Structures are given as C-alpha cells and as structure tokens.
Amino acid sequence: GLAAGLDKNGRCIDGLGAMGFGFIEVGTVTPRPQPGNPKPRLFRLAEDRAVINRMGFNNQGAEAACARLATRGSRAGVVGVNLGANKDATDRIADYARGAELLGRYAAYLVVNVSSPNTPGLRALQDEGALAALLDGVLAARGENGPPVFLKVAPDLEPADISAIARIAQEKRLGALIVSNTTITRPALKSARAGEAGGLSGAPLRDLAQARLIDFRRATGGEIPLVGVGGIASAEHAWARIRAGASLVQLYSALVYEGPGLARAITCGLEQLMKRDGFATLAEAVGVDVPC
C-alpha cells in the first residue's frame, strides 16, 4: 500500500493505483483547509536515503476530499483516509469525529493519526486516557455500519505506552494498528540536513519501525492486524515485516530513491520469497518469526 502523505487531497488515487499499489491511503485530511508549516519543510537526505518533513497537515480540507472521493463512484481500488485535527483546533476530538463523519462514507478504512510530530501536542493524544476518549468519539461518529478504524502510532513509544495502546486497541476493537509514523530521533546520519526539525523517514527508520512492529505483535498477541510501514524499500524488507507480524505493508519515502516501479517490484519479489520459504499464501507467513 501507499502510506498517507503523498496524496493528501485524493487527487491521484487511480494513477497511483496504476503504479501497482494494492491500496492507497489519502491524507492526512483535517476538517478545515490549512496551509501547513512554513517552507522549506521537506528535505531529502540523499546520503542516508532518508527524508525529513515538517509539513504540518497541509491539505484542502475534508469537504474538498469528499468531493473528489465522491466522483470515483464504484471504480476499483481500496482507498483509506487518514484523519487529523486542525492545528488551531480547540477540541481535537471533535475534529477527528467530524472527519470520520464526513469521510467515512467514502473510505474502505479510516486512520486516526495521532503520531505525526509536526502538529504541536498531537502525540499527547497517544496517552491512555486521551486516546480512549478520542477513539470513542471517532467510533461514534463513524456509526455502526461505517468502515473499520485503524490507529497510526509513533515509533518513539516507551514499553508502557505500547502496552496501553495495545490494550485500548483491543478494547475498542480497532481494525488494525499502523506501525509506524516518522521518528523524532536522529540515528547516525551523514547528510548536512540531519539537524532539520521534523519527522525522519526512509532507510534510517527501518530498524526502529521493525522493532516497534514486533513489540505490538507481542503486546496484542496477534489479535489485531498490523500494518508495517517505515523504511521499506525492497521485497526483502516487506517480507521481514510480514514475517514479524504485518498483514499489510506500506511505503512512501522509498519512492524518492527507488522510483515509481517500486510497488510492482516488491509485489513480484514477495511472490518469489513466499515460494522460496515454502508458503502457499502470504497470510501463512504473517508473524512466523514472532510467535504470540
């Protein structure tokens, strides 16, 4: 799948699907339009095959996204929508609920994004009490017959946070956990841009995202599907994430360095790796390296 961030406004869904992605995640979409953070706000770290961004949920708002999604009708393709709150929101739970109410009718799944480091205070919504209240608001706004709700988490979580999030996700019967967003940590980087503020993605995120996926696999006991994202740039990377517990994988930053053929290359490579390791289906391989 294509992770959120590239097609923030639902403008390129069918073209991106034609590149070989099995599903497209639109967004992050906020209820009202907002310009995002001042430019420059996106930096390529070519020496590290990485990206730092501090975009700040720049998007045209939920009504614009709804209008575009409505024109697709019954066209093929699995499309999820990633929800966020406006930077100046006085009630962030209400913002997420409003997004779920408006966009739920057009989405195969909704994502509650509380893990971006580029909106001040947003990650505090991952705290246990705040998260439970937020998910209650989103689930109520989505309605009983609405799409499944996923939660996207940060890779920079402490063990206690992981346990609490896993417990809440199970209690609220979420559709999946997306592990993970960008990191605010800075491993050893070569680029002169390494000190830029924002979230780091790409190759340096890979090991951290893999470790968090394993943590959530163990914390959930395999009872909630996991989506692996962060540093995936090859079929081997995707295969390692699947064997560690991911039912789905996403990518974004690797397109900068590998080009638009990456999704198809990974799909073909996964088929070969599956046969090499003796699995008849990808589902059989999910979590084989991390028993629950």
Q: Kindly list the catalytic residues.
A: 116
CB 81, CB 103: distance < 8 Å:
yes
The span from the CA of 43 to the CA of 24, in Å, is: 23
Tokens representing residue 263 in the block: 């999704």
**Unique residue bearing structure tokens 């360095």:** 257
- 3-state SS class at 110: strand
Phi, psi of 109, rounded to the nearest 5 degrees: -155, 155
Burial of residue 269 (CB within 10 Å: 0-12, 13-18, 19+) is: middle
**Unique residue bearing structure tokens 């008849």:** 280
For 88, other C-beta atoms within 10 Å of its C-beta total: 7
